[in-house]
Structure 1
Amino acid sequence: MNGDRPRPRPGYATEFADEYDRWFGKRRTSGTTIEALAALAGEGPVLELGVGTGRISLPLRERGIDVHGVDGSEAMVRRLHAKLGGDRMPVTVGDFADVPVTGDFTLVFLAGGTFFELPDQSSQLRCFANVAEHLAPGGLFVFDSHVPEALAAATGPEIVMEGDNHLVLCYRRLDPSAQRYRSHYVIHEDGGTRHLRVEFRYAGCGELDLMADRAGLRLKERWGDWAGAPFTRDSAHHVSVYERP
C-alpha cells in the first residue's frame, strides 16, 4: 500500500484528474487492493467513496461486481466516464461524508488514504454513521490509512514517480496540535515545475474504532496492507475492516 493518494476537490481537481492514473495508478499496488476488495465484496452491490477516476472500481466491475461510486470532483468523474466501460458505472457527485446514494451495500470502501480528506472529526463521524445506514446486515466498511506515529517518524520526501523527463515528489508536513498533515506534491516535467497541496485530518486506530462504535459498527479485522499482512508494532499503514452486526 502506498499511503495517501490525493482525490482532488474543487480548486485543483482538473489538474489532477488528467494525470491521476499516470502518477498514482501503480499496477501492483492497485492490483493488490482490487484482489482484497473482490474477496470482501460478497454478493454486492458495492460502493466506493471517493471513486476518483475509477482505477479501483472499474476493474472490480470487470469482474462482474456491481460497483457504484461517489466523488466530489466532476472533473474526476468525467475522467472515469471517458474510460472503457466507465459510462455504464453509476456515480453520484457529492460529499462522500453524506453518502448521498440510495439502497444498501455489502461493502463500502475507500482506498488510497481518502478517508482522511474529510476535514474534521465531525465529518468523519458523519461518514461512519451514514455508511452504517447503507450497509446490509453483515456488510463491511473498509479503508486504508497511514499509522500516525509512523507518519510522524518519516523523514525526507517520497518519490511518487520518476522517469527520464519527469519527477514527482511528495513531502508531508504534520501539525499534531490539530491532527492534520499537508502533502506537498512537487511535479517537475517538460522543463517546468508545479507545486500542489492536499490537506488531511488524521486519526489513530483507537479513535477510528470509537467512531465505528458510535455508528454501530465493530472492528472485524485490521491488516498491515491490502495483501493481508499482519498489523504489528512496525506497520506504517493499516487496512481496517469494520462490520455491521
Structure 2
Amino acid sequence: MTSSELWSRRTAERYDAEERANSSAEALGPMLDLLAELAGDGRALEFAIGTGKVGCPLRERGTPVSGIELSPHMVAVLRRRIGEDRLPVVVGDMATTVVPGEFSLVHLVYNTISNLLTQDEQVECFRNAARHLAPGGRFVVELGVPPLRSLPPGQDAAPFDVSERHLGFDTFDLVAQLLVSHHFTRTDDPETGDAGADEPGADDSARFRRGTSQHRYAWPAELDLMARIAGLELERRTGDWHGAPFTGDSPKHASVWRRPA
C-alpha cells in the first residue's frame, strides 16, 4: 500500500479551479515545450496525471500520452476532458503500477514525488520509471528545494505564500525529512471556514477553508542516487522550465535522467 494520501472527490472537483493560474498556456508553455521535445516521436507516460492539466495539452501537441493516477476521483474529472481511447489511465500508485508498452518519456511534475512519504517508495518510483522507459528514454521530475535556510533558529515553520486569497506555510520534521503543507484558502462558501475576527483590518465577510498535506522532501543529490539505483543517468538539471541555471538559491529544479541506450 502506498503512503500517498488519496485525493477526495471534493478536492478533485475544485482542483482545476484552484490551479487555474498554473494551467494557462503561458504558465504551461515552457514545460510542455520541453516534454514534447524529450518525447520526440515516442510516447509519454505521466505519473500522478491528476485531472490531465499537463497530459491533455501535451496530447493536443501530438504526443501520445498515458497516465497513472492513485485517485479515481481525479480520473473522473479528467474523463470529462478526454476519453480513455485518446488518453488511457490506469488507477494505481506510481511506485509499482505498470502499464503496457515502452515510453520515450516518463514525467512527474508539480512536486508530486514528495507525495510518497518514504525513501523506499521514492526509490521504487524511479525504478518504475526506468521499467517503462525505452533505451535512451528520459525521466523528468520537477521538485522544490527544501527551504530550510529560511527557518529561523529554533523554529519549524516557514511561509511559502501570503496573499489576499491564500495563506500557506510548511512545518518541518527535520529528523524524518517530512513536511506538512498548511493551506488557508479564502472561499465564498458560507458553510466553509470561520468569519473574520473582530479586529482592526479584519474582513467580517471573509471565510477560509483549511487544508493540509504531507510530503517527504528530498535533495537533488538524493534523487541522483535514486536514479543511479534505478540505472538512470543525470542528463540535465535546470532551475525552471525556461532553462535557467540551477544554483544554490534556486527554489526548485527540473531534472532529466536518461536510461542508457
Under a length normalisation based on structure 1, what TM-score does the superposition of the two structures give? Answer: 0.88
Gaps of 5+ in 2: 152-157, 193-207
Residue aligning to 2:248: 233
Q: Which residue of 2 aligns with 1:153?
A: 150
Q: Aligned-pair distance for 1:169?
A: 2.6
2:38 matched to which residue of 1?
40
* Candidates 212, 228, 235, aligned match of 1:220: 235
Contact 1:99–1:127 at 8 Å: present in 2 too?
Answer: no
- Measure, in 1, the Cα distance between the counterparts of 2:74 and 2:136: 31
Structure 2 residue aligned with 1:74: 72
The offset of 1:168, in angstroms, is: 2.9
Provide Cα deviations, 1:175-213, integer angstroms capped at 9, x if missing partner: 111111111111221143221111111111111111111
Report SS of the residue matched to 1:97: coil
* 2:204 match: none
User: SS at 2:159's partner residue?
Assistant: coil
Instruction: Map 1:122-161; keep pairs closer than 5 Å.
Output: 122-148=120-146, 150=147, 152-153=149-150, 155-159=158-162
Amino acid at match of 1:240: S
Higher helix share: 1
Specify the alignment match of 1:16 in structure 2.
11
Larger Rg, first or second structure (1 or 2): 2
Counterpart of 1:61, as a letter, is: R
Contact 1:58 1:86 in 2 (8 A): no
In structure 2, relative to structure 1, the CA distance for the partners of 1:219 and 1:14 (3 Å cut) is same
Cα distance change on mapping 1:86 and 1:229 into 2, 3 Å:
farther
**In the alignment, residue 153 of structure 1 is paired with which amino acid?**
S
Quote how far apart the aligned CAs of 1:147 are: 1.1
Q: How does 1:1-245 map to 2 (within 5 A)?
A: 9-10=5-6, 12-25=7-20, 26=22, 27=24, 28-83=26-81, 85-87=82-84, 88-148=86-146, 150=147, 152-153=149-150, 155-159=158-162, 167-190=165-188, 191=190, 192=192, 193-245=208-260
Cα deviation 1:210-235 (Å, max 9, x = unaligned):
11111100100000011111111221
- For residues 169 and 30 of structure 1, the distance between their equivalents in structure 2, rounded to whole angstroms, comes to 24
Aligned mates of 1:130, 1:168 — CA distance in 2: 35
Show structure 1 runs of 4+ deviating over 2 A: 28-32, 85-88, 154-157
Aligned-pair identity in percent equals 43
- 8 Å CA contact 1:9, 1:73 repeated in 2: no
CA contact (8 A) 1:219 1:240 kept: yes
